Chains A and B, each alone.
Chain A
Amino acid sequence: GAVVSQHPSRVICKSGTSVKIECRSLDFQATTMFWYRQFPKKSLMLMATSNEGSKATYEQGVEKDKFLINHASLTLSTLTVTSAHPEDSSFYICSARDLGQGDYGYTFGSGTRLTVV
C-alpha cells in the first residue's frame, strides 16, 4: 500500500531557531500534500495544502511566513517552522493522497513531535 515517510519523528529545538520536517511519498506520486497540526486531546487541524510546483494554500489564521512549505517534487514536501516559539510545540502530521486508490487514498506520515524550549 501507499506509504508516506515523515522525518524527524521527534525534535527538540531552542526558541528562535528553525526546524524542517520532511514528508516523502515512497511508492506513489503525491501531487498534493496536506499538513496538519494536532494539540493534545484535540482533533487534527489542517494548516496548509501544498501542490507540487506551486505555492501552498494556507488555512485562515496560519502564518505562511512562519510555516514555510515547499513541494518541489512529486515525492517530497517540507514544512519549516521558522523562529519557533514554545507555543509552536505540537504534533505535526503530513498526509498525501494516492490517486491510484481513488477516494480511499489518504495516507498519513508517522508524525513529528516538536518541542520548543
Chain B
Amino acid sequence: GQNIDQPTEMTATEGAIVQINCTYQTSGFNGLFWYQQHAGEAPTFLSYNVLDGLEEKGRFSSFLSRSKGYSYLLLKELQMKDSASYLCAVMDSNYQLIWGAGTKLIIKP
C-alpha cells in the first residue's frame, strides 16, 4: 500500500530552527510537496522536490532523498505565525497526490 509518515506534533521556540521529517512508500514517484495549513484554512504551497538534494527558499528549505524515501522541511528563525500544520504529499506514478496526516507545529515565545 501507499504510506506517508510524519510526526503528529512538534513544539519549537520562536527564533529557533525546526526540522519536520517525512518518509514515504508509494507506487512510483513524481515529486514531493510540502504545504502549510493554518487551522480552518486551505493548504498553501511551500515547496516541490523531484531531484535529490536541498532546495532553499528564504527561511524554509526542503530536502529529498529518493533512495531513502525521505524528505524534511527545515524552518529557520521561527516566527509565531509559523504555527500551523505542515503536510507532506507525494505524487505517485498516476500523478495523484498521496497526503500525509500532517505535523502540527506549535511555536512558543
Knowing A103-B30, A106-B33, A111-B42, the reply to whether A43 touches B50 (Cβ < 8 A) is no
List A contacts of B45 (CB < 8 A): 104, 106-107
Chief secondary structure at chain A's binding surface: strand
Nearest-CB distance from A41 to chain B (Å)?
8
Closest 10 CB pairs of A and B: A108-B42, A43-B101, A111-B42, A43-B99, A44-B99, A93-B42, A110-B42, A104-B48, A108-B43, A103-B31
Q: List 9 A-B contacts (CB under 8 A).
A: A6-B42, A43-B102, A44-B43, A104-B48, A107-B45, A108-B44, A110-B41, A111-B41, A111-B42
Chain A residues with a Cβ under 8 A of chain B: 6, 34, 41-46, 49, 91, 93, 103-104, 106-111, 113
